[in-house]
């Protein structure tokens, strides 16, 4: 999927936990590899690439592809068209949901293996369990890169309580790759980067993409309809932040 995946656990784990971690790492690697072979647009031999080339119709695609398309289509309705599973030319493109789906599946596998207190990071999108200090209420901190300086952080958000996931969508890594929701916005009105913290990673991932595409209108919709926290970097450099991103705990340094 053109990204790097990492799995972190607290330092000083026991030998037994280290063995569990090795098994969990293998499972995560296998899962991401399998999904990459099917959904990645970076691989010319993937099912998704065959659909982009119109060599494979959605009706003839795998059950996994059709199921994820159905989920993406439901999100299109929920976001009032800001999130879409098709490019402007009508080609199916699930890039806005597939990474969140992969992280979700990996998290489910880690839970099934009984692994606790971990942080899974795929290209800056983060899903956590427990704490970096097992047995305490200390939260995992998810750093958010400054789009104006990729070597610096804007802030770090504590993933705890009802917020286990954080996803960021923007133009800093891949340029302008997100389809507009058909809105006309001036340079100062759109967003350069959007980060969303939510209970689950797919909600965070989809809404970050939707707000990037739909702008302030979709941001208002998202915060009214879902229990999320949002940090949006405007094209003119200004910031819009919900209360969770303005608390003292949501700071870096």
The answer to the question of residue 241 being in a domain is yes
Asked whether residue 250 is domain-assigned, the answer is no
Q: Is 42 a domain residue?
A: yes
**CATH code of the domain containing 41:** 3.10.520.10
In a domain, 251, yes or no: no
Residue 194 scores a pLDDT above 70:
yes
Domain range enclosing 175: 5-245
Lowest mean pLDDT among 14-23, 86-95, 127-136, 220-229: 14-23
- Residue identified by tokens 């009802």 is 162
Give which of 240, 231, 206, 228 is closest to 82, Cα–Cα.
206
State the sign of the Cα–Cα–Cα–Cα dihedral 213, 215, 221, 222.
Answer: positive
Maximum separation of any 2 CA atoms in the chain, in Å: 57
Give the count of domains, the chain. Answer: 1
- Does any domain span residue 252? no
Instruction: Evaluate whether residue 23 is within a structural domain.
Output: yes
Q: How far apart are the first and last CA of the chain?
A: 31
Q: Is 225 helix (H, G, I), strand (E, B) or coil?
A: helix
Judge whether 177 lies within some domain. yes
Give 86-97 pLDDT, tens digit per residue: 888 888 889 889
Residues in the chain: 253
165 Cβ contact list (under 8 Å, min separation 6) = 103, 125, 126, 127, 128, 159, 197, 198, 199, 200, 201, 203, 204
Tell if the pTM clears 0.85, that is, is over it: yes
| Residue 13's pLDDT band (cuts 50, 70, 90) | low
pLDDT in tens, 102-141: 999 999 999 998 888 999 999 899 999 999 999 899 999 9
39 is a domain residue? yes
């Amino acid at each position: 999927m053109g990204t790097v995946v990492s799995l972190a656990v607290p330092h000083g784990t026991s030998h037994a936990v280290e063995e569990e971690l090795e098994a969990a790492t293998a499972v995560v690697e296998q899962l991401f590899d399998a999904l990459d072979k099917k959904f990645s647009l970076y691989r010319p031999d993937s099912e998704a690439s065959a659909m982009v080339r119109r060599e494979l119709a959605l009706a003839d695609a795998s059950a996994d592809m059709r199921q994820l398309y159905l989920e993406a289509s439901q999100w299109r309705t929920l976001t009032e068209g800001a999130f879409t599973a098709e490019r402007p030319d009508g080609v199916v493109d699930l890039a806005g949901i597939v990474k969140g789906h992969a992280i979700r599946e990996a998290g489910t596998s880690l839970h099934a293996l009984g692994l606790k207190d971990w942080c899974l990071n795929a290209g800056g999108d983060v899903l956590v369990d427990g704490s970096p200090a097992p047995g305490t209420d200390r939260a995992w901190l998810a750093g958010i890169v400054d789009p104006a300086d990729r070597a610096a952080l804007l802030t770090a958000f504590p993933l705890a309580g009802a917020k286990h996931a954080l996803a960021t969508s923007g133009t800093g890594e891949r340029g302008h790759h997100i389809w507009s929701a058909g809105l006309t916005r001036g340079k100062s009105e759109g967003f350069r980067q959007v980060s969303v913290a939510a209970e689950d990673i797919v909600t965070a991932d989809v809404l970050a993409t939707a707000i990037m595409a739909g702008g302030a209108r979709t941001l208002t919709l998202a915060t009214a309809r879902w229990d999320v926290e949002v940090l949006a970097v405007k094209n003119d450099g200004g910031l819009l932040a919900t209360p969770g991103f303005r608390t003292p705990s949501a700071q870096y340094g």
